[in-house]
């Protein structure tokens, strides 16, 4: 929290009577003096602001303890209380005795609620500035989603106890389907709905993508564990295409400005590789094991470290005062929330098949559009030549790429890591075990031997095997490994590209195509 925000927040003791009101105040750069706090029900506010908010009201099950909250407010003596008008008469009468109360009409949409609160507090300019910033982020996110998801239809499913529901609350309707313009695939009528549905009915809907809102309690989790292994679920279009994502009630079930910003925004090595391809020298970059990987040497001479790939250093990023931050969709939501407070933040997709859009994104930001198009055209031309060179040589041959991580053999689904280069680009046959893999998956050597590949590409980095530095050596000495066709025929290729290469970037694909053709022609 900056000194300016701190001083503004402490100048007046403003109480947020509900969590959505707290979300509106935070958008106005006001830390409430009192607000509902709970590690589960208001998890984001609890983790981020619990030390800054002096008076913690109960947030248990949507104001179930309202009488205790009113009593605590009376003792705290706030200057003003902000509350929605969805309170009953008895509660209102007691609240009115505590301090002046601003009742925000719930019938207003969230933007007008923000303006209503801002006007009551003399913060109209802050509200308009925040909304302008939000709209810019919406435009960037919408353009990004249009490139990645094209016209894919999306259905949000709520799973509670032992029931499935096609679900859309007010925030989802206005932000996800409204502001972001995601094509809806729904059964309910109107903007909001909560309609029970069976897996069999889901098959008729044919949604391209599913977002799952799963209640976090035992009965629901047991039901979900059983459901996701059922034939009806596994046969759904979105499940077959690995287009299922999980969302949480925080922020998706909160109707406030701050929560909606967190729905829109969910340093990356993928972006670093694109910078390498384009010759862009970033002011800050992600390190691995405290140093920049050697592959980035030509662009990181003056680059400042901004943390590890799994844990960016927010303080270091803040000091650099960046114009824009390219994060990764691998980051947890809380990391994205912190980054977006520093500068406009664009989450770069870690999905391999998004590599062209990722390269063009950085090119647009840095004025390198022409160079990006040259890279893409050259790759496509080189790919066509490669296909001609290989001809029918690899027909019916099994070619796989694995990565050794923490001493384990990892295989990947056919649209992840370097696999799109092998199977989609070069047109090689996808082994059944690769098709069946759920994103990244550990496979035992015994199971791997059943696949018995004819060609194996192995990626091994000491940084990813710190506890088992001899994992590759041990694997190579294992009798089962030695019995594989690829090993017996000297068709195992280790680290043909840098072992820390992400696979689904322009740089990775260009380098891997060169190495693959050289080795597959042997």
Structure tokens of 263?
């729905």
Report the pLDDT value the prediction gives residue 271, as an integer from 0 to 100.
80
Taking a C-beta distance cutoff of 8 angstroms, is the pair 184, 177 a contact?
A: yes
Ranges of beta strands (E only) in 130-208 are 154-160, 163-168, 193-197
Q: Which residues contact 356 (CB under 8 A, 6 or more apart)?
A: 376, 506
The b-or-e profile of 258-282 (16+ CB within 10 A means b, else e) is bbbbbbbbbbbbbbbbbbbbbebbb
The b-or-e profile of 368-377 (16+ CB within 10 A means b, else e) is beebbeebbe
Taking a C-beta distance cutoff of 8 angstroms, is the pair 469, 406 a contact?
A: no
∠ Cα 5 7 12 (to 5°): 105
Q: Which residues contact 299 (CB under 8 A, 6 or more apart)?
A: 272, 275, 276, 279, 280, 281, 282
Interstrand relation of 209-214 and 154-160 (parallel, antiparallel or unpaired) = parallel
Structure tokens of 480?
């089962």
Long-range contacts of 319-328 (CB under 8 A, 24+ apart): 320/283, 320/284, 322/283, 322/284, 324/365, 325/267, 326/267, 326/268, 326/271, 326/361, 326/362, 326/365, 327/267, 327/268, 328/267, 328/268, 328/269, 328/270, 328/271
Taking a C-beta distance cutoff of 8 angstroms, is the pair 283, 272 a contact?
A: no
Calculate the CA dihedral of residues 335, 337, 338, 339 and round it to 10 degrees.
80
Per-residue pLDDT of the chain (522 residues; tens, 9 = 90+): 333 444 444 468 999 999 999 999 988 989 999 999 888 778 778 877 888 899 999 887 666 788 999 999 999 999 999 999 998 899 999 999 999 999 999 999 999 999 999 999 999 999 998 898 788 778 767 776 776 666 788 899 999 999 999 999 999 999 888 888 888 886 544 578 888 998 888 888 888 888 888 887 889 888 988 898 889 998 898 888 877 877 778 788 889 988 876 665 335 677 888 888 988 877 778 787 778 888 888 888 778 788 776 567 777 777 776 767 777 776 766 777 777 777 767 777 666 777 888 888 788 777 788 899 999 999 999 999 999 888 888 888 999 999 998 888 999 888 888 999 999 999 999 999 998 887 778 889 999 999 999 999 999 988 788 778 899 999 999 999 999 999 999 999 999 998 888 888 899 999 999 998 889 887
Report the pLDDT value the prediction gives residue 267, as an integer from 0 to 100.
55
Report the pLDDT value the prediction gives residue 150, as an integer from 0 to 100.
66
Q: Which residues contact 109 (CB under 8 A, 6 or more apart)?
A: 174
Q: Which residues are 291's β-sheet partners?
A: 288
Q: Enter the DSSP assignment of 228.
A: T
Among residues 409, 510, 420, 519, the alpha carbon closest in space to that of 464 is found at 409
User: What is the per-residue pLDDT across 83-112, written as a single tens digit (0 to 9) for each?
Assistant: 999 988 999 999 999 999 999 999 999 999
Taking a C-beta distance cutoff of 8 angstroms, is the pair 152, 209 a contact?
A: yes
Taking a C-beta distance cutoff of 8 angstroms, is the pair 509, 376 a contact?
A: no
């Amino acid at each position: 929290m900056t000194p300016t925000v701190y001083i503004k927040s402490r100048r007046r003791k403003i109480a947020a009577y509900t969590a959505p009101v707290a979300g509106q105040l935070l958008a106005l750069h006001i830390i409430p003096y009192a607000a509902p706090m709970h590690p589960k029900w208001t998890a984001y506010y609890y983790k981020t602001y619990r030390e800054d908010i002096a008076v913690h009201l109960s947030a248990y099950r949507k104001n179930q303890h309202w009488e205790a909250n009113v009593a605590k407010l009376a003792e705290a003596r706030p200057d003003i209380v902000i509350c929605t008008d969805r309170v009953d008469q008895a509660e209102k009468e007691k609240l009115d005795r505590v301090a002046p109360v601003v009742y925000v009409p719930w019938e207003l949409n969230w933007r007008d609620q923000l303006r209503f609160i801002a006007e009551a507090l003399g913060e109209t300019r802050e509200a308009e500035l925040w909304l302008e910033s939000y709209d810019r982020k919406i435009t960037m996110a919408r353009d990004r989603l249009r490139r990645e998801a094209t016209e894919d239809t999306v259905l949000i499913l709520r799973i509670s106890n032992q029931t499935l529901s096609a679900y859309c609350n007010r925030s989802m309707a206005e932000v996800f389907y409204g502001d972001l313009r995601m094509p809806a695939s729904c059964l309910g009528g109107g903007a909001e709905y909560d309609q029970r549905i069976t897996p069999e009915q889901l098959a008729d809907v044919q949604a391209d993508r599913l977002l799952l809102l799963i209640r976090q309690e035992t009965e629901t989790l047991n039901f979900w564990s059983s459901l996701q292994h059922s034939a009806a679920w596994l046969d759904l279009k979105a499940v077959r295409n690995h287009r299922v994502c999980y969302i949480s009630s925080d922020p998706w079930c909160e109707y406030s400005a701050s929560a909606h910003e967190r729905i829109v925004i969910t340093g990356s090595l993928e972006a670093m590789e694109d910078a390498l391809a384009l010759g862009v020298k970033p002011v800050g970059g992600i390190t691995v094991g405290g140093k920049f990987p050697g592959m980035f040497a030509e662009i990181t001479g003056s680059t400042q470290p901004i943390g590890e790939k799994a844990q960016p250093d927010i303080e270091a990023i803040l000091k650099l005062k960046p114009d824009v931050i390219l994060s990764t969709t691998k980051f947890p939501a809380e990391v994205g929330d912190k980054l977006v407070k520093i500068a406009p933040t664009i989450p770069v997709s870690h999905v391999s098949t998004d590599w062209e859009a990722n390269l063009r994104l950085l090119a647009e930001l840095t004025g390198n559009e022409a160079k990006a198009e040259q890279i893409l055209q050259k790759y496509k031309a080189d790919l066509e030549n490669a296909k001609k060179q290989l001809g029918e040589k690899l027909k019916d041959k099994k070619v796989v790429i694995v990565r050794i991580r923490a001493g384990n053999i990892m295989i990947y689904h056919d649209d992840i890591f370097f696999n799109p280069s092998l199977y989609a680009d070069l047109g090689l046959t996808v082994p059944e075990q690769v098709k069946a893999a759920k994103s990244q998956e550990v496979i035992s050597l015994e199971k791997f031997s059943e696949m018995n590949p004819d060609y194996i590409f192995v990626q091994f980095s000491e940084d990813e095997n710190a506890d088992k530095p001899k994992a590759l050596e041990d694997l190579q000495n294992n009798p089962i490994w030695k019995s594989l066709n690829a090993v017996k025929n000297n068709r195992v290729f280790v680290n043909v590209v840098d072992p820390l290469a992400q696979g689904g970037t322009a740089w990775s694909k260009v380098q891997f195509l060169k190495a693959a053709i050289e080795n597959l022609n042997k």
